[in-house]
Structure 1
Amino acid sequence: MAQAQEPGQGRYRYAVLALLILAYTFNFLDRQILGILAGAIKKDLGLTDSQLGLMGGLAFALFYTALGIPIAWLADRWSRTWIMTGALAIWSGFTALCGLAGGFWQLFLCRMGVGVGEAGGVAPAYSLISDYFPKAQRARALAAYSFGIPVGSALGILFGGLIAASINWRAAFVIVGLAGVLLAPIFRLVVKEPVRGAMDGTPPAAAASGGLALLLRKPSFWLIALGASASSVCGYGVAFWLPSFFERSLGMGLVERSLFLGSITLFGGVLGVWGGGWLGDRLGGRGKGFYLLVPAGAFLLALPCFFFAVGATSLPVAFVLFLIPTGLNLAWLGPVINAVQHLVPAAMRSTASACFLFVNNLIGLGLGTYYFGAVSDALTPRFGAEALRYAIYSGLGFYVVSALLFVAAAAVIKRDWVD
């Protein structure tokens, strides 16, 4: 396969990072667009909150988690750039097909197809970044890559809402899906395969056998993965249901809430992701445990902010209160992903990332959106349109669980760390 120039030379690695961020932006745009369209889809197809929660979480997470590890195993042995190109084309194509769905099961299956494609979109990218950037810059590079989460989520909210308001929800799926299909060949032309382990001073090596067993024997892996999963139950769940909350509890129209929530997600998310990566690199040199203490502190601060934000009745106050925890909710990405990369040798990083994503997304994404939808349905007879507000309150305790698990991981990470 074609090899890139030495990844530390010139500005090429930043061009690669920009394409990786763009691909990740489409990843989350296609993943999160369902949230802003949920109200229109619910009305058009006659769905319940529980059904919407299943489509937003389980439908996507089933194949996303199941295929992630075998695809990452392949990525540790074959071209990561080809795998990502194919993945981008597949998930974008299925996003476009969502616009043709005529009922719950058709849309459910299309969302499963999005998950099939996105299974190959993230773990290989983590590995590529680790081979393009030196250790001292890696948490920041991974944090920059993670800008795709708030930017993609914000664009999904913004474009989805505006297109649906101008045309309909079906057109929103088709337009953003086809845009991703067009990006795939450009991605393949620009992003070349780097030498594995080059930035760690190690020679190229084949992926080690027994890598999965090595990773699963490390207690820090399980504490990190379960800690991230607990936070993701709340993070993914709240992100999916906030558009519906703004509609039901604050009376906001489709365009208004698209602009409102899109701005919160973009500005709060980008600041939080970069701040977490910056703190991780700055404090990580003092001790490996700081890579996990940074997100633990962020989640403990996010909990009361979200609590007061959900109770706010003034839109300007709600904007500020939601902006802060939106950033804190994403501060874990750079430090934690960097820590996972250092639990195994360089030749096994895609597999390690996929194992982490398997646990995080199966629990966090698979349970999160369904949990809030199911609790909302259960509370509707008592609270009516305000049921979703109380459903969100009930899920904030997952942040405490996450913080405790990350603190425990910080205590043992040093002995599991691989330089």
Structure 2
Amino acid sequence: MLGPSSATTSLVTLQSTRDAALHFNLLSLPHEAPYLNMTWTLHTPWHFFALLNAITMLQFLLAGVIPAAPNEFQVFIQQSLHVSSTDSAFYFGVLETALLAIYCLATLVVGHLSQTVRPFSLILAGLVLWVVSAAASGVARPAGSFYLLLLGRMGTGVAEATFRVLALPLIDRFTPPSMRSLWMGMYYAGISLASGVAYVFGAHTARTLGWDWSFYLCAMAMLPFLVVTYACIPSTCDVNRPLQVEKSKTESRSTRDLAVVLTSPVFLLSVAGISAINFTLQAMLTFAPSMLIGLDVFSDEWSAMAFGGLVMVAGIVGPPLGGALLDRATSFDASDSTRCVAACYQRLFFVAGSTLAGAVSLALLLAHVSPIVFLVAGFGFFGGMFATFGSTSTSLLLSVPPHLRGLAMGVGLLLQNALGNVPGPIVLGALKSWLAPGCGSDVVDGRDRVSLACGNAANTHGLYVLWGIMVLWMAWALVAWPLAYVAAKRVAKQDESMLDHMTLLETSYIQVGVETH
């Protein structure tokens, strides 16, 4: 039998091992580079976060190049395919649809591969594909080939999926426990900043150097990060999860793993809520600038700039704020179950505040108040939406076992696109044509402008109704997320009961050892 000292030592050792598994410390690992014998490797959490964030921002910068220069790309389509200006709009849409479709399919495949293939090995392959695809997209212009551009866009879609599925699980793994949510919020803020800069970068480059140089410059800018990923990642960090588990546990079948993800109530309800928010957000990003012109809030010249600036600032402020608050709420206990419950709880306040601010923005539109006052309400509306992104990503990651988190992110991204990002603009576009049929575009002095007929009473009323529908759609999140919170609390109680049982078992061993001694 164990004596009191040896039993206590065993208990402390067991607890230390458990703590090590919960709080993976990157700094405690050796830092040999796996591919080249280089003297410098990534050896702090900040290094990894900076690498992942920089790659993400470059990818979003490139993704916004085509929407930022629609006229230049439509002229290219007309010349390369020999189609009319009317038909070129269809092929312009094909470029974006193909990117999104291949991205959705690739997220599921990458999520499955993430269980068996080392994460940075997958990222490296994706970066190589991304650089080649970006360069091919640029070459399409001098080659006069629309299909080369299309192929390049599809390649970047696969590459983006390879990175997007893995980035958040890696950030959650490498970040210090007390700052996980804040860093995740900073990750989303970087996305918002890059998306805003993309419009300026893409439009300016297309007018000065030619749109092909947007692709060349992005490809060249990615090369240093590709080299770092290839040569400077410690071999002990390029593993499928924080601490390796038994091989027999990691090689479960795809259908079984997928079933685990899709039967998690917290996962499904979290996806349902964030899909509703993405539905509204993408619809707003697509139609709000023209709607604000039709409602006489902003002029043609200022509407897109004012609205784009509003969204960018809200996207930069909202996610870090939400992350900092979540870290503070879990400072006493950074265990996975506690963080999941706190994330599900916190986002309820943000989505409720965002919905309220959206309703206020509609009231302000009806009251014809100053545009500045409207922008303040709009900041609350979009800031609240963006603040839910980090907490929702946290709940998605922590709703499944660690070895399934890559798959969970892949499935989650697929469902968010299928239920939110893709149908949002389509459904609201159809409703806009029905509710405000006079709010199309006319060519005036060689420029596209909102039709003058949009200002009549019937069309204006339709725009008000449309704005209300976009705000009201977020109510689905107000339904799904309270249920997710209840489910997360139930899981946490089960985990607590299991921990209490283990503690009781360990205590009994100590007591037996004491009595024997």
TM-score w.r.t. length of structure 2: 0.67
Distance (Å, rounded) in 2 between the aligned partners of 1:49 and 1:72: 35
Q: Which residue of the partner structure matches residue 159 of structure 1? A: 201
1:7 correspondence with 2:49: no
- Which aligned pairs between 1:209-248 and structure 2 lie closer than 5 A? 209=252, 210-242=256-288
One-letter amino acid of the counterpart of residue 299, structure 2: G
Aligned to 1:37: 69
Q: Match for 1:117: what amino acid?
A: A
- Following superposition, the deviation at residue 19 of structure 1 comes to 0.9
Selected match of 1:251 from 290, 299, 302: 299
For residue 18 of structure 2, what is the aligned residue in structure 1? none
Which one of 110, 125, 149 corresponds to residue 71 of structure 1? 110
- Counting only pairs closer than 5 Å after superposition, residues 379-390 of structure 1 correspond to structure 2 as 381-384=437-440, 385=450, 386=454
Contact 1:205 1:347 in 2 (8 A): no
CA gap 1:213/1:380 in 2 versus in 1, 3 angstroms: same
Pair 108,318 (structure 1): closer, same or farther in 2 beyond 3 Å = farther
Check 1:93–1:268 CA distance in 2 against 1; reply closer, same or farther (3 A cut): farther
In structure 2, the residue matched to 1:179 is 221
1:128 CA drift (Å): 1.6
2:322 alignment partner in structure 1: 276
Query: Aligned pair 1:61/2:74, yes or no?
Result: no
Kindly report which structure 2 residues correspond to 1:234-383, keeping only aligned pairs within 5 A, or say none. Answer: 234-242=280-288, 250-253=298-301, 260-261=306-307, 263-284=309-330, 288-306=340-358, 311=365, 316-378=372-434, 381-383=437-439
Give 1:278 deviation, angstroms.
1.8
AA at the equivalent of 1:327: G
Q: In the alignment, is residue 408 of structure 1 matched against residue 408 of structure 2?
A: no
Unaligned runs of at least 5 residues, structure 1: none
Q: Match of 2:99, as an amino acid?
A: F
Counterpart of 1:371, as a letter, is: V
**C-alpha contact 1:233 1:368 (8 A) present in aligned 2:** yes
Task: Tell me if structure 2 keeps the 8 A contact 1:208–1:348.
Answer: no
Aligned residues of 1:224 and 1:405 also touching (Cα < 8 A) = yes
Larger Rg: 2
Q: Distance in 1 between matches of 2:213 and 2:429?
A: 25
Aligned-residue RMSD, C-alpha: 3.8
Deviates more, 1:56-65 or 1:328-337: 56-65
Q: Which residue of 1 aligns with 2:171?
A: 129
> Is the 2:241–2:403 Cα contact (8 Å) retained in structure 1?
no
- Aligned CA distance change for structure 1 residues 264 and 195 (closer, same or farther; 3 Å): same
Code of the aligned partner of 1:325: F
| Residues 40, 258 of structure 1: alpha-carbon distance in 2 compared, 3 angstrom cutoff | farther
One-letter amino acid of the counterpart of residue 327, structure 2: D
187-196 vs 384-393, which deviates more?
Answer: 384-393
Q: 1:6 to 1:303 in 2, by over 3 A?
A: closer
Tell me which of 38, 45, 49 is aligned to 1:17. Answer: 49
CA pair 64-216 structure 1, distance change in 2 beyond 3 A: same
Contact 1:341 1:352 in 2 (8 A): yes
Aligned partner of residue 26 in structure 2, secondary structure: coil
Shift of 1:16: 0.7
CA distance 1:74–1:97, change in 2 (3 Å)? same
CA distance in 1, matches of 2:323, 2:56: 17
The letter for the 1-side match of 2:378 is F
Task: String of CA shifts for 1:237-287, please: whole Å, max 9, x gaps.
Answer: 32345566677763344xx67764554344321210011112223335577
Distance 2:232 2:425 in 1: 36
Bigger CA drift: 139-148 or 189-198? 189-198
The change in CA–CA distance for 1:211 and 1:240 in structure 2 (over 3 A counts) is: same
Q: Cα distance 1:392–1:320, how it changes in 2: closer, same or farther (>3 A)?
A: same
Distance change in 2, residues 1:279/1:195 (3 Å) = same
Aligned to 2:231: 189
Q: CA deviation at 1:224?
A: 0.9
Q: Distance in 1 between matches of 2:92 and 2:225?
A: 29
Letter in structure 1 aligned against 2:389? L
Q: State the secondary structure of the residue aligned to 1:396.
A: helix
Structure 2 unaligned regions, length at least 5: 1-23, 29-41, 79-84, 441-449, 497-517
SS at match of 2:422: helix
| Residues 401 and 347 (structure 1), Cα distance of their counterparts in 2 relative to 1, 3 Å cut | same
Query: What amino acid is aligned across from residue 180 of structure 1 in structure 2?
Result: M
**TM superposition shift of 1:389:** 5.3
Alpha-carbon offset, residue 159 of structure 1: 1.4
| Displacement after TM superposition at 1:405 (Å) | 0.9
- Partners in 2 of 1:242 and 1:50 — Cα distance? 20
Cα deviation for residue 296 of structure 1 reads 3.1
User: How far did 1:374 drift?
Assistant: 4.0
Q: 1:288 to 1:76 in 2, by over 3 A?
A: closer
Superposed CA deviations along residues 64-106 of structure 1, whole A, max 9, x for unmatched, are 1212122122222222112123323434544555564779877
Q: State the shift of 1:289 in Å.
A: 3.3
CA distance in 1, matches of 2:47, 2:74: 41
Cα pair distance change 1:113/1:371, threshold 3 Å? farther
The CA distance in 2 between the partners of 1:50 and 1:205, in whole Å, is: 53
Whether the 8 Å contact between 1:49 and 1:373 is mirrored in structure 2 is no
SS of 2:116's equivalent in the other structure is coil
Q: Relative to structure 2, which stretch is displaced further, 48-57 or 117-126?
A: 48-57
Q: Which range is displaced more, 363-372 or 218-227?
A: 363-372
Question: By how many angstroms is 1:157 displaced?
Answer: 2.3
Distance 2:377 2:74 in 1: 28
Take 1:111 and 1:117, find their aligned partners in 2: how far apart are those partners?
Answer: 10
TM-score relative to the length of structure 1: 0.81
Q: Deviations along 1:132-169, whole A, 9 cap, x unmatched?
A: 13544322232232233212212212312333444555
Partner SS, residue 211 of structure 1: helix
Counterpart of 1:415 in structure 2: which amino acid? Answer: R
Aligned residues: 411
SS of the residue corresponding to residue 357 of structure 1 reads helix
- 1:358 is displaced (CA, Å) by 1.6
User: Percent identical across equivalent pairs?
Assistant: 20
Q: Which amino acid aligns with 2:101?
A: L
Q: How many Å apart are 1:222 and its aligned residue?
A: 1.0
The secondary structure found in structure 1 opposite 2:184 is helix
1:117 partnered with 2:152: no
